[in-house]
Structure formats: structure tokens, C-alpha cells
């Protein structure tokens, strides 16, 4: 595994592990000991960057994921980077499998959240603390001010923004320097590439979540793939529908062709494409499978030339592909 620097000085593994799927959104949660084993295997493979959030859990145990991550990494806490998030909760009145999100980044809420996360993670500090979604009711300058206070108090060491646009990034950074944004990014979700010049100007890292388009770009699914409609977000994602599969035929063919040329897998090409695109991009892919864990880590070793990346971009620009899941609905209150 190779390593990268986010922002000024946050060193992380070139590929991180998104831990959400152990507890939330991808069907029945993984059994605790199995999930701990997977996280420990990731550490052994060289992963040092682990991502969670206060809302990743089940209706019975809403904060399960932070507890799981904290217990798994306690023995090597000084050697890893833990990222978690504040600022949203689910609209529990909704019957949707992917319930709408309600933002809340009031200073009092943030302070309650950070103390609770520190306790669940069983740690004295959080390495990277993200605002999970922008709150239209709280100026970002006020949120950034709280982050500066938390850094001064030693509760967090760095902070970031998730699904943020240029205006929010600039305003936040002007109050308290932002280390990283965590936005959706994959071959099927490229709309935030417009932020690259801003990130380079301000020296901010880009942590890419859903880098495999929720697993679709692993090319391991087909029209016969089934997902639990009660607990698996993929059951309603357009890229996994029959129509989506048909539209994405050319994209999958491109991945298979490139993978064969590079003696790699489609998932590795999808990750290597963004790793070779910019030195400050760090994908956080999630998996419960130890073989996939190793496969994703090894994407760090796949090298694509600038010409190969450009050729892939040109192909993506011109081919037909389905819509891709863009995130849960935000409820503005």
C-alpha cells in the first residue's frame, strides 16, 4: 500500500476503508466478530484510513458502526486515521429504505455529537471530523468556528466537508483550514471534477466515497443480482436496475478491456483511474469480502499513464450510461 497526504499534513493509505457497509445500507449487518476481523485484516494489508459516521447503524442500534470501528482499532490507535461525521439524522417517519436526511449543524448539536463519537470510538481524539451535509439553517462560518475550537481543545485534529460545493468550501476554509472534502466520485459520478482547481488552490484533499458506484463498477453484478428491498439501498439504485444494466453495457466492456490490458480487475481499474488522475484523491471503498479487501488495496499498485487516463475520460464522456445513485434526499427544516 502506498500513502498520500490530505491537506497540509494528514497522512493516509492511498486506498481507505469505508466501514458503513458493515452496519448500514447494504443488507443485513455483518456479525460483530466478522466485521472486526475484516477491519483487522485491512490493517494488516496496510490500510490506515478508516471512515465511519455517527449515523451508520440500524434502527435497533443507530450508532453501531462507530462502536465497531473503535473496538477494532483500539490496539493500533496511534497508527491509524479515523474519520467520522456529524450534522445529519434520518427522517424516521419515512418508510423508504434510504430514509431522507435532516441536517442539524447547530453548535450545541455539534458538541453533543463530538463527545458522543469520542466515547463510542473509545478515543481521545478524532483525526478527521466531517460535516456530513451542509445545513442551510447554520452559516458555514459558524460551523467552521466550532471546528477551530474543537481543534484547539484537542478533540479533533483535522476537519472536512462532505458533498460541499465551491462556495461552502471557500467560506469554511477562510475561517478554519479544511483538510479534505468527502464527495461522491466515480466513473459514473464525475460532477465534482469542477472542484479540482479549487482544491489545488487551497491544498485540500478529495476523499472519494462510492468510488465503485456502490459496487457496480466492480463488474460483479448482472440482471440476476438481487438485493433486499428492506435494508439494501442497491435495491432502488438506477445503475442496478435492468434498464441500467442494459445502458451500462459499453461501460462494463471498457472496464473489462482495460483490466485485461493491465492484468487487473475492473474494480482496480476504477480505483486506479482516480488515483492516477490527481495525487490528492483517496478513494474509500467498502467491502465485507477479504478477497475484495485485498483487491482494492492492490489498486494502489496499478499505474495508468496520463494518456491512458485521458483516453478513459474521453470514452466516458461520449458513451451512454445510466443514471447513478446520487444520495439520499435532504429534508430542509
* Cell numbers at 227, concatenated: 438485493
Query: Residue 212: its pLDDT value, please?
Result: 96
Give the residue numbers annotated as catalytic, written as ranges. Answer: 56
pLDDT at residue 138, rounded to an integer: 97
Residue 284 pLDDT: 98
- CB 330, CB 302: distance < 8 Å: no
pLDDT given for residue 333 in this prediction: 60
130: β partners = 85, 160
pTM for this prediction: 0.95
pLDDT per residue, tens digit, the chain (333 aa), is 999 999 999 999 999 999 988 987 677 888 999 999 999 999 999 999 999 999 998 878 888 999 999 999 999 999 999 999 999 987 767 777 777 889 999 999 999 999 999 999 999 999 999 999 999 999 999 999 999 999 999 999 999 999 999 999 999 999 999 999 999 999 999 999 999 999 999 999 999 999 999 999 999 888 888 888 877 878 888 898 999 999 999 999 999 999 999 999 999 999 999 999 999 999 999 999 999 999 999 999 999 999 999 999 999 999 999 999 887 778 876
Amino acid at each position: 500500500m502506498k500513502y498520500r497526504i490530505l491537506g497540509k499534513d494528514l497522512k493516509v493509505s492511498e486506498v481507505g476503508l469505508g466501514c458503513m457497509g458493515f452496519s448500514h445500507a447494504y443488507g443485513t449487518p455483518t456479525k460483530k466478530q466478522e466485521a472486526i476481523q475484516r477491519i483487522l485484516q485491512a490493517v494488516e494489508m496496510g490500510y490506515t484510513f478508516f471512515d465511519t459516521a455517527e449515523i451508520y447503524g440500524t434502527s435497533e442500534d443507530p450508532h453501531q458502526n462507530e462502536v465497531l470501528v473503535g473496538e477494532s482499532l483500539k490496539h493500533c490507535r496511534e497508527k491509524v486515521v479515523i474519520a467520522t461525521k456529524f450534522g445529519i439524522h434520518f427522517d424516521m417517519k419515512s418508510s423508504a429504505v434510504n430514509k431522507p436526511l435532516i441536517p442539524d449543524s447547530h453548535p450545541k448539536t455539534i458538541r453533543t455529537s463530538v463527545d458522543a463519537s469520542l466515547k463510542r470510538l473509545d478515543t481521545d481524539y478524532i483525526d478527521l471530523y466531517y460535516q456530513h451535509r451542509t445545513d442551510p439553517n447554520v452559516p458555514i462560518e459558524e460551523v467552521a468556528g466550532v471546528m477551530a475550537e474543537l481543534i484547539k481543545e484537542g478533540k479533533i485534529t483535522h476537519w472536512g466537508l462532505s458533498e460541499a460545493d465551491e462556495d461552502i468550501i471557500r467560506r469554511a476554509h477562510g475561517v478554519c483550514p479544511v483538510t479534505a472534502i468527502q464527495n461522491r466520485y466515480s466513473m459514473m459520478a464525475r460532477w465534482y471534477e469542477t472542484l479540482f482547481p479549487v482544491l489545488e488552490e487551497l491544498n485540500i484533499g478529495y476523499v472519494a466515497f462510492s468510488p465503485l458506484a456502490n459496487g457496480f463498477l466492480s463488474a460483479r453484478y448482472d440482471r440476476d443480482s438481487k438485493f433486499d428491498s428492506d435494508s439494501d439501498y442497491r435495491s432502488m439504485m438506477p445503475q442496478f436496475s435492468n434498464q441500467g444494466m442494459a445502458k451500462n453495457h459499453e461501460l462494463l466492456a471498457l472496464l473489462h478491456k482495460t483490466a485485461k490490458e493491465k492484468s487487473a480487475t475492473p474494480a482496480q481499474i476504477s480505483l486506479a483511474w482516480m488515483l492516477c488522475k490527481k495525487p490528492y484523491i483517496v478513494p474509500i471503498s467498502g467491502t465485507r469480502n477479504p478477497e475484495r479487501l485485498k483487491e482494492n488495496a492492490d489498486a494502489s499498485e496499478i499505474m495508468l499513464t496520463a494518456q491512458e487516463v485521458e483516453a478513459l475520460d474521453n470514452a466516458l464522456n461520449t458513451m451512454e450510461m445510466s443514471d447513478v445513485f446520487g444520495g439520499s434526499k435532504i429534508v430542509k427544516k
